[in-house]
């Protein structure tokens, strides 16, 4: 089922132990979301045998997240890009800046009124792009765009893997409502045993 909306854009700062394993802080509002474009790059290898492809392996390599937002406040800009805020409250961007990775969460509304929820576990953002235009005969809004690289996290999940995304659709059979209700209380952590039973999505539902 198609999505028709985007909101509740949050981020969570990451701290790492000596082995690089992530601990996530309490999520905070990033900005009001306008657009979110997510693309994924895969590592692919093909084993040929008997004059044909015998095995094909495709694994997540990295991804790109491009966010269009209404505005980026000074504290958020500092957290995402590594810029500093001086004693006058002015954001100072330097060539040496480099923000630490954060987790990013948001939700997309579907045409049936339910929501699809996301957490991206490790995203490293670059400097926001700003588009400005002089005022003319009509009003044109100029809003920033910020792009980040999506990476798998270092910490293993309950299944011994390195997740890069968590995704759940509200109202899907087998989804506990408490998971939906607490989605922004903390970054979602895979728990329990892997559910191997098929989850039946409504016709036409495609995950991002």
Q: Distance between CA atoms of 145 and 98, rounded to whole angstroms?
A: 17
The answer to whether position 199 is within a domain reads: no
Q: Convert the pLDDT of each residue in 138-188 to its tens digit.
A: 544 456 788 889 999 999 998 899 999 999 999 888 899 999 999 999 999
The answer to whether position 186 is within a domain reads: no
The answer to whether position 189 is within a domain reads: no
Instruction: Print the domain residue range for 139.
Output: 3-181
Q: Convert the pLDDT of each residue in 60-116 to its tens digit.
A: 788 898 888 887 788 888 888 888 888 888 888 776 777 889 999 999 988 888 999
Would you call 118 helix, strand, or coil by DSSP?
strand
The answer to whether position 187 is within a domain reads: no
What is the per-residue pLDDT for 164? 93
The answer to whether position 42 is within a domain reads: yes
Q: Distance between CA atoms of 186 and 189, rounded to whole angstroms?
A: 9
DSSP assignment of 13-59, as one string? EEEE-TT--EEEPPPEEEE-EEEEEEEEEEEEEEEEETTEEEEEEEE
The answer to whether position 198 is within a domain reads: no
Q: Supply the pTM of this predicted model.
A: 0.77
Neighbour count for residue 62 (Cβ, 10 Å): 15
Q: How many domains are contained in the chain?
A: 1
């Amino acid at each position: 089922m198609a999505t028709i909306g985007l909101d509740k854009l949050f981020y969570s700062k990451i701290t790492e132990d000596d082995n690089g394993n992530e601990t996530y802080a309490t999520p905070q509002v990033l900005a009001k979301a306008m657009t979110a474009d997510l693309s994924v790059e895969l590592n692919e290898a093909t084993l040929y045998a008997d004059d044909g492809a015998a095995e094909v392996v495709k694994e997540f390599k990295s991804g790109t997240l491009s966010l269009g937002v209404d505005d980026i406040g000074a504290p958020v800009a500092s957290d995402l890009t590594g810029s500093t805020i001086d004693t006058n409250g002015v954001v100072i961007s330097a060539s040496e800046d480099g923000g630490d990775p954060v987790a990013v969460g948001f939700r997309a509304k579907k045409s049936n009124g339910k929501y699809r929820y996301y957490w991206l576990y490790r995203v490293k953002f670059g400097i926001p792009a700003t588009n400005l235009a002089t005022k003319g005969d009509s009003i044109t809004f100029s809003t920033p765009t910020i792009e980040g690289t999506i990476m798998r996290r270092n910490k293993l999940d309950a299944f011994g893997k390195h997740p890069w995304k968590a995704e759940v659709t509200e109202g899907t059979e087998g989804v506990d409502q408490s998971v939906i209700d607490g989605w922004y209380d903390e970054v979602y952590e895979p728990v329990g045993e892997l559910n191997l039973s098929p989850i039946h999505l409504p016709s036409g539902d495609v995950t991002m």
